[in-house]
């Protein structure tokens, strides 16, 4: 779905029970960060992939906080039946937790 389609859908539904699952930066066209920002007010859940967790987690969290986001922050795991056995999962969770701490401290 394109940015304009996603925005049009959210504005048409216009209901507090509707929200977007934002896989940060994962857009088929356009600038991922700009597109994330454009839909931030409609986000109800997120996915932080390893790239976003490593490069721009704090900025993404600040953007969500500024948009009024109060949901959970999902961290993407490697595709496997043993996700919790992968040390990088804990590393990425740690990166997002640290970014959350810094972003919420900056927002106060």
Domain ranges across the chain: 3-107
pLDDT of residue 84: 65
pLDDT band at 82, cuts 50/70/90?
low
pLDDT of residue 63: 96
Q: Cβ(48)–Cβ(76) under 8 Å? A: yes
Average pLDDT score over the chain:
90
Does residue 76 carry a pLDDT above 90? no
The predicted-structure confidence for 19-45, as pLDDT tens digits, reads as follows: 999 999 999 888 999 999 999 999 999
Residue 48 Cα to chain centre, angstroms: 6
Q: Please give the average per-residue pLDDT across 85-106, as a whole number.
A: 89
Burial of 12 (0-12, 13-18, 19+ CB in 10 A): exposed
- This prediction's pTM: 0.87
Radius of gyration for the chain, computed over Cα atoms and rounded to the nearest angstrom: 14
CATH topology of domain 3-107: TIM Barrel (3.20.20)
């Amino acid at each position: 779905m394109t940015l304009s389609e996603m925005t049009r859908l959210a504005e048409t539904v216009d209901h507090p029970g509707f929200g977007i699952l934002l896989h940060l930066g994962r857009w088929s066209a356009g600038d991922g960060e700009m597109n994330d920002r454009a839909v931030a007010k409609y986000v109800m859940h997120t996915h932080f992939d390893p790239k976003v967790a490593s490069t721009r987690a704090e900025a993404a969290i600040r953007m969500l906080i500024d948009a009024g986001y109060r949901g959970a922050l999902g961290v993407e795991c490697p595709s496997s039946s043993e996700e919790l056995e992968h040390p990088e999962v804990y590393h990425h969770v740690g990166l997002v937790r640290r970014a959350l701490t810094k972003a919420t401290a900056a927002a106060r």
